[in-house]
Amino acid sequence: MASPHVDVDDLIATLEQIRQRGHSAHTVFRDWVELMLFALQRRDEPYLEILEGYRERADMDQPDGQRSADLFANAFGQLQERMAETDADVLGAVYEEYGMSSDAFGQHFTPHPVCEMMAEISGIVDDSETDGRQTVLDPACGSGRMLLVGARHQPTSLFVGQDKDPLCAKMAALNCCFFNIDAYIVQGDSLTVKYQRAWQTSHSPMGGSVRELDEDETEDLRDSLTAAFENMAKEQSKDDASQASEAQNVNVSTLSGREQASLLAFDSDH
Ligand SMILES: C[S@@+](CC[C@H](N)C(=O)[O-])C[C@H]1O[C@@H](n2cnc3c(N)ncnc32)[C@H](O)[C@@H]1O
């Protein structure tokens, strides 16, 4: 994740070709993300259903290789190439850049060097320094960029990302699959702990895979993560109480890095 700026102009030019056939930037980007997610899960039916929306006359008049389905596939190829070159969150960079041309979506994620710093202050250290498997959580994960940085430091940890925005949750699931990370990605509100959907990505020497959890699995995931999080909060408040009693004569009040950071790392048996 060293790359501070990822050039995504050629990728956006490909998506633009589709948009100019009468679709909005948001529709094109959302459908591209969904097509990749369905393709990786080998879910042909919803994949073809999305493409059906692009089979109007303007598209059928295009020569072979220039139809929307071809352009979506080209953009997937360009994404893979750029990720291989940069090892960075290219998908998030396309979202940031393309979203600037739309009123319907768009936001900026944390720059890569700041993600590195956040990982450090959140206690994500080299694998060799941890005792047992850790779970690393980003409760507002966006495209999952912080999880990707965390996985570079602790590749054997379990990563959990949550975002209430469906497009962000899907980007994070895709990224964790692309970067071959063991992760759960939840679409849901971290404050109300309501889960709408969840995906599991799995590491393998052959490359990552992704699958959507069914309702029961999603509920089980919610229960086990809530329990793990509550345990961590109890441990943390015990630590804070003992630190407060040690420091009661010090007249300085500061927020620790851990309290400010959204990224958390804790020991878990999950
Ligand atoms: C600025 S982005 C940060 C993304 C990522 N952590 C990073 O550093 O690049 C903030 C994200 O928080 C998500 N978010 C805001 N409130 C949330 C909530 N209550 N539950 C889950 N996600 C939330 C938004 O949808 C958005 O994607």
- 140 and 262 co-located in one domain: yes
**Pocket test residue of 109, 137, 163, 168 for ligand 1, highest count of atoms within 8 A of CB:** 163
DSSP secondary structure of 15-63:
HHHHHTTT--HHHHHHHHHHHHHHHHTT-HHHHHHHHHTT-SHHHHTSP
**Pocket test residue of 165, 186, 194 for ligand 1, highest count of atoms within 8 A of CB:** 165
Tell me the CA–centroid distance for residue 96 and ligand 1, in Å: 14
The answer to whether 181 touches 203, Cβ cutoff 8 Å, is yes
- 136 and 260 co-located in one domain: yes
Q: Whose CA is nearest to atom 14 of ligand 1?
A: 140
Q: For 90-104, 109-123, 224-238, which range has the lowest pLDDT when averaged over its residues? A: 224-238
The answer to whether 183 touches 147, Cβ cutoff 8 Å, is yes
| Residue 167 predicted with pLDDT over 80 | yes
- Report yes or no on 4 lying in a domain: no
* Phi, psi at 92, each rounded to 5°: -60, -35
Q: Is 190 in the pocket of ligand 1 (CB under 6 A)?
A: yes
Tell me the pLDDT band of 270, cut-offs 50, 70 and 90.
very low
Tell me the pLDDT band of 160, cut-offs 50, 70 and 90.
very high
- 83 and 196 co-located in one domain: no
Q: Is 166 in the pocket of ligand 1 (CB under 6 A)?
A: no
- pLDDT tens across 9-24, in order? 999 999 999 999 889 9
* Closest atom of ligand 1 to CA, residue 109: 9
The pLDDT of residue 265: 64
The answer to whether 101 touches 236, Cβ cutoff 8 Å, is no
Q: Whose CA is nearest to atom 15 of ligand 1?
A: 140
- pLDDT tens across 106-156, in order? 899 999 889 988 888 887 766 666 667 788 999 999 999 999 999 998 999
Number of domains into which the chain is organized: 2
- 18 and 141 co-located in one domain: no
The pLDDT of residue 128: 66
- 93 and 178 co-located in one domain: no
Q: Is 208 in the pocket of ligand 1 (CB under 6 A)?
A: no
Tell me the CA–centroid distance for residue 171 and ligand 1, in Å: 12
- 53 and 116 co-located in one domain: no
- 178 and 128 co-located in one domain: yes
| Residue 259 predicted with pLDDT over 50 | no
Beta-strand ranges (E) seen in the chain are 134-138, 158-163, 183-189, 194-202, 209-212, 264-267
Tell me the CA–centroid distance for residue 162 and ligand 1, in Å: 8
Q: Which of 51, 68, 99 is the last residue of a domain?
A: 99
| Residue 244 predicted with pLDDT over 70 | no
* Closest atom of ligand 1 to CA, residue 92: 9
- Report yes or no on 62 lying in a domain: yes
- Report yes or no on 88 lying in a domain: yes
| Residue 255 predicted with pLDDT over 70 | no
The pLDDT of residue 56: 79
| Residue 247 predicted with pLDDT over 80 | no
The pLDDT of residue 106: 83
Q: Is 263 exposed, middle or buried (0-12, 13-18, 19+ CB in 10 A)?
A: buried
- Which residues are bridge partners to 134 per DSSP? 267
The pLDDT of residue 205: 95
- pLDDT tens across 185-229, in order? 999 999 999 999 999 999 999 999 999 999 999 999 999 988 887
* Closest atom of ligand 1 to CA, residue 115: 8
Q: Whose CA is nearest to atom 16 of ligand 1?
A: 140
Q: Is 106 in the pocket of ligand 1 (CB under 6 A)?
A: no
Residue 41's domain comprises 9-99
Of 178, 155, 38, whose CA–CA distance to 94 is shortest?
Answer: 178
Q: Is 191 in the pocket of ligand 1 (CB under 6 A)?
A: yes
Q: Which of 47, 73, 99 is the last residue of a domain?
A: 99
Instruction: Compute CA 170 distance to the chain's CA centroid, rounded to the nearest angstrom.
Output: 7
| Residue 163 predicted with pLDDT over 50 | yes
- pLDDT tens across 31-81, in order? 999 999 999 999 999 999 999 999 876 787 888 889 999 999 999 999 999
Q: Whose CA is nearest to atom 4 of ligand 1?
A: 142
